[in-house]
Amino acid sequence: MNIAIVIAAWLFALANAFVFFKAGTFKLTAPIAKLLEAGFGWVEKTPAPVVRLIALLELVGAAGLILARIAQDFFRYDWAQPWGVAAGAGLALTMLVAAWVHIARGEFKYTWKNNVGIFAAAAIATVLFALVNYAA
């Protein structure tokens, strides 16, 4: 196993997990009014249960990245790799949908750096997760 790929996979998984855990926790626990104050303008026209569902999906994706990495790297469970790839792909898809929402709202010129950066990190984490077993 190529140690550089494993280290890069861990770094991207940890970075993504941190970003999505923080965002998901905030969206799950903060009142909608507080989300609006924080600049989440899209929550104004989005039903609160949908906002909370997005938050839960972000938390599950973050947990999936880390738990799958642990299961694969430390316990050598082969079934963990597809779960890690699915978690990373789900988070990347989340950022594509977020970009679509910002484009529809005319906000993408303000949010594109965050959207593209987090999407790229999630996509890289997904690819690295998929490559770990093949870099022997």
Mean pLDDT, range 88-112, rounded to an integer = 95
Q: Where are the domains of the chain?
A: 3-134
pLDDT tens string 33-89: 999 999 999 999 999 999 999 999 999 999 999 999 999 889 989 889 899 999 999
Q: How far apart are CA 98 and CA 27, in angstroms?
A: 14
Cα pseudo-dihedral 74, 77, 79, 81, rounded to 10: 30
pTM exceeds 0.75: yes
pLDDT at position 78: 85
pLDDT at position 67: 96
Tokens 């998984």 belong to which residue?
A: 13
- Six-digit token pair at 105? 């709202």
